[in-house]
Amino acid sequence: MFIDLGIRNAWRNRQKSLLIIISMAVASLMLGSALSLSHGYPANIDLVQRGFMGGDVAVYAPRFAISQSDLATNFAYARLPADDLSALGDLDPELYQEGFLTVPGEGQGYMPLVETADRLSTSRYVRAVYPYYILPGFLSDNDGSGTLAPLRGRNPFLDRVYFHYQDTVVAGRYLDTTDEGQMVAVVDLGRERQGLPLPAVGNLVAVRVPAIRTDASGQIYYDYSASRVFTFQVIGQISMATRQYSYGSGRDTRSVQLYWNTPQIMIPSSTWQQIYYEMSGGQRVTAVPEMGVILGDLSQANDVAADLQARLPAHTVVAVPAHIAVAASRGLPEPLTAIPPEYRPTTAPKWQLGIPVDMTSMIMLVVYLTAGLLAATNMLALLTRRRQEMGILRALGATAAEVVLMIETEVATLSILGVVIGFGFVRLVAISTLVSNQVSFAGIVTNTLADLGRVVGVTVACALVFGLFPALRAVHMRPVEVLRRE
């Protein structure tokens, strides 16, 4: 009876209790956002960049991301050698130019290939691991002798199936699985944008590669005095369009297509491994500077990156879209020279990438404390105006527990109404992310119900705790005094 009366009161007084509904809607919206939106990304975000880097999550050998737990350590200064090549040269060039702080004894330029791949593969979210195979190289022909031309070993199957790199072709064709072991190459049109020689489709390109050595500590280095020339037939040219940048206003608004430009000569991975074998004196590749991790979908990419970071504490793990966003805030990796200087975006200052502290729990605590206090204050004011109702109930024999139950039911009902409004709003955006990642209908329903259960549970618990104060104030009113005042 008193539960039903509490629900009726909540519905009858919903307009007067609008503050409770709004505060709980805002709280559930923030919690729903933390549960649904901050964990992942739409399926096609930064597809070209992810393809170039070889994964949805990037694992870098150097330990350049500092977490809060590192603050008590004595940092060491390190700087990456110019020929320890990886995507960091495009996204974080200061690691090579100015150096970075790192934890002594942890990752530097290379990570063990098999051990790292094994640790990554144990995650149920990881669908494939894509090593970043690269060697320093320079053109060795009359048209561009000595110009930069690193050899990059690509996996044609992964490039085609996961990243659709065949769609970036502007001339010829992209690498195919039948090209494995063949001396063929694909070049980026970005070489021409960088002022470097661009080999035409059908032509031969000669690349001089240094010998690969290992020092006494086991670190890889390159011996340029013992280099060798490898010749490839160019079968295709690609152009990696990333994003469009609009500037101006009104009728003067213009849009510029930006590109990720690379001097790399891309060859099949098995061909690259054979060259490595020959240039290392018969050694198989055992270490790489970077590794891409391909996920089943991007809906939990940030969570997966955090989990993989815990598995590989000596290295740096970051979701590629997150790293691209940080680089883009600094005008990287695409050159902005096509944009007039007065319209170029203000770039963020250089700063060392850090592993963010998870403040979700603290933020949610503050939000729910505020929402709960608003609920308690509003409910107290509401019950003060309803003293006669409380007095009549007590006079008719209602116990203190029954009155508390009625008031707590009213608070919980109003809170749930706010939760549904707030959660429903943010969930529409989250569902679009799940749909874009081709999560099954059953998976979307399960995920939505699980998040809704968590949000409702936290919200109702908070409402009940804060609703106790006005409820206890109400039951301590003496019926005779209340009726005499009325």
Give tens-digit pLDDT for 168-188. Answer: 999 999 999 999 999 999 999
Integer Cα distance of 327 and 334 in angstroms: 9
Lowest mean pLDDT segment, chosen from 62-71, 139-148, 393-402, 443-452: 393-402
Of 268, 285, 276, 283, the residue nearest 183 (C-alpha): 268
Q: How far apart are the first and last CA of the chain?
A: 26
Q: How many CA atoms lie within 13 A of 10 on its CB side?
A: 23
Sequence-ordered strand ranges (E) for 215-312: 220-238, 241-247, 254-259, 265-268, 287-288, 290-295
Render pLDDT for 285-305 as a digit per residue (tens, 0 to 9).
Answer: 999 999 999 998 888 898 899
Please give the torsion angle defined by the CA atoms of residues 271, 275, 281 and 287, in that order, rounded to the nearest 10 degrees: -80
Closest CA to 268 of 154, 150, 149: 154
Alpha helices (runs of H) in 297-399, residue ranges in sequence order: 301-311, 320-328, 360-384, 387-395
| Stated pTM of the model | 0.75
Say how far apart CA 239 and CA 236 lie, in whole Å: 10
pLDDT at 94 over 80: yes
Half-sphere exposure in the Cβ direction for 355 (13 Å, CA): 24
Please state, in angstroms and rounded to a whole number, the distance separating the CA atoms of residues 266 and 273.
13
Residue 229 backbone class (left: φ over 0; alpha: ψ -120 to 50; beta: rest): beta
Which pLDDT does position 177 carry in this prediction?
95
Of the given ranges (242-256, 353-367, 410-424), which has the lowest mean pLDDT? 353-367
How distant is the alpha carbon of residue 188 from its chain centre? 27
> In this structure, what is the dihedral angle of CA atoms 472, 476, 479, 485, given to the nearest 10 degrees?
-100
User: Any idea which of 45-54, 108-117, 405-414 has the lowest mean pLDDT?
Assistant: 405-414
